[in-house]
Structures are given as C-alpha cells and as structure tokens.
Homo-oligomer: A and B are copies of this chain.
Amino acid sequence: MSRELKRGTIELVLLTLLADRERYGYEIVSAIEEWSGGRLAVRDGTLYPVLYRLEEAGFIEPRWETPDRGVPRKYYRVTDAGRDELGRLTAEWREFAAGLDAILGRKGGA
C-alpha cells in the first residue's frame, strides 16, 4: 500500500474511530486493519504524531488510565470541535474521491 495515498486521510480515520468510542493509540493500529477489511495499515510511529496534532488542534482529548497491573494507557475521545472537523474532512474526502472516480470513468463514486 502506497504511503502517499494515505496522506491527509489518517486524521479522518482517527477521528472516525474515536468518534465511535474512546480508544488508546496502540489499540487504534489494529482497529484500522480490522475496520478496513485488512486494506489499510498504519504504524504506531505514524500514529502518535497524528494524535498530538489532533490534540493540539482541540479535536481530541486525552485521559490517562493507570491500572494496578499493566502499562498505562492514554485514551482519546473526540471533542465537539473534533466532530465538526470529522464532518468537514468526510465531505472533503467524498468530494475528492468523486472527482477522481469521475476521471477514472467509474459512475457514481463515493
């Protein structure tokens, strides 16, 4: 899977997964593979910087959970602004995919 195609879509993917429910970073890696039917994969070294970008932009909020046993987990949830952004990014993706599908000749894309 080409690295370049993923550009600009990972934030959309993360917001979608976190809008479903609160998740922690390491969990998201496997969720992406599962939700995409094995078609998409993202490394954790890619994931964390994206989470920080989203947090700094106010789209998601972290919450540490430190269990008696086990490694601490940092759970993220989507803010109201994050849901707005999710809607915006989704619309942008659909518009882009529709434009590309129109060029490829596929009818009724996105």
A: residues with CB less than 8 A from B are: 1-9, 12-13, 16-17, 20-21, 32, 35-37, 39-40, 90, 92-93, 95-106, 108, 110
| CB-based contact A93/B99 at 8 Å | no
Indicate whether A93 sits within 8 Å of B104 (C-beta atoms), given known contacts A4-B7, A4-B8, A39-B98: yes
Among A1, A39, A102, A103: residue with most chain B CB under 10 A: A103
A103: chain B residues at CB < 8 Å are 13, 16-17, 32, 35-36, 40
Name A106's contact: one of B2, B12, B35, B106 (CB within 8 Å).
Answer: B35
What 11 new A-B contacts, CB under 8 Å, besides A6-B96, A36-B103? A5-B96, A9-B100, A16-B105, A32-B103, A36-B100, A39-B96, A39-B98, A39-B99, A39-B102, A90-B104, A97-B97
Nearest CB on B from A16, distance (A) = 6
Among A17, A20, A32: residue with most chain B CB under 10 A: A20
Name A7's contact: one of B7, B32, B37, B99 (CB within 8 Å).
Answer: B7
